[in-house]
Structure formats: structure tokens, C-alpha cells
């Protein structure tokens, strides 16, 4: 439906709808260090998604639902997903992790 959605409380990275489920997704991107070969634990972007950020996304989703009550889709389910992206120095995708229903 939309990406980088601004509310007066902050930004939602991605809002998607499949005619049944309304998804609010947080996307974390990290650049793999050129010093190392392969991925290391610090290259795991979803590890940086802490409780405070999950709480913030829920608050932003509530604000968006309230502010868009007339235009929002009729969803059977609301879900919060997390997407972790790791790219190299040339912005080539090295890894993509998508966790449905992350919280």
C-alpha cells in the first residue's frame, strides 16, 4: 500500500495489504563490513530491533489506523513483520530475512 509513511508520531517503513491481512513492517538495513569475509553476528540487522522499537511501531500503526479510519482497508488480521537486509559496499544484496508476525 505504502512505504515510508509519515504520521505525526514518526515513520512506518512499509504498509502492505493482501485483501485479508494488513501488515506493518519494520525494515532494518546494515552494510557488511569490507574487512570481513562473510556475515558476522553484528551483520544481523534484526538483532538491533529492540522492545522500544517494536513498541514504537505498534504506536505508529495505531496512529495511522486512527488518522486513516475512512480510507483504511477492511482487514481480518493485523500483523507486524520485520525485514532484515544486509548489503555489501556496492549495495548488492547479501542477505534478506523476512519474519512474518515478528511480534
pLDDT tens, position by position, 8-65: 788 999 999 998 999 999 998 888 865 555 555 556 777 777 888 888 899 999 988 8
Report, as an integer, the average pLDDT of 86-96: 89
Report, as an integer, the average pLDDT of 56-80: 85
Instruction: Match domain 2-99 to its CATH number in 3.40.1350, 3.90.25, 1.10.3470, 1.20.1070.
Output: 3.40.1350
- The pTM score is 0.79
User: According to the model, what pLDDT value does residue 49 have?
Assistant: 73
Whether 77 has a pLDDT exceeding 60, the answer reads: yes
C-alpha torsion 83→6→69→62, nearest 10 = 60
Cβ–Cβ < 8 Å for 46, 53: no
Amino acid at each position: 500500500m505504502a512505504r515510508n509513511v509519515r504520521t505525526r508520531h514518526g515513520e512506518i517503513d512499509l504498509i502492505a495489504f493482501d485483501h485479508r491481512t494488513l501488515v506493518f513492517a519494520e525494515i532494518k538495513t546494515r552494510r557488511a563490513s569490507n574487512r570481513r569475509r562473510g556475515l558476522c553476528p553484528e551483520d544481523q540487522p534484526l538483532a538491533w530491533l529492540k522492545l522500544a522499537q517494536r513498541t514504537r511501531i505498534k504506536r505508529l500503526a495505531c496512529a495511522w489506523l486512527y488518522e486513516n479510519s475512512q480510507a483504511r482497508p477492511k482487514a481480518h488480521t493485523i500483523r507486524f513483520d520485520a525485514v532484515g537486509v544486509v548489503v555489501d559496499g556496492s549495495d548488492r544484496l547479501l542477505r534478506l530475512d523476512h519474519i512474518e508476525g515478528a511480534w
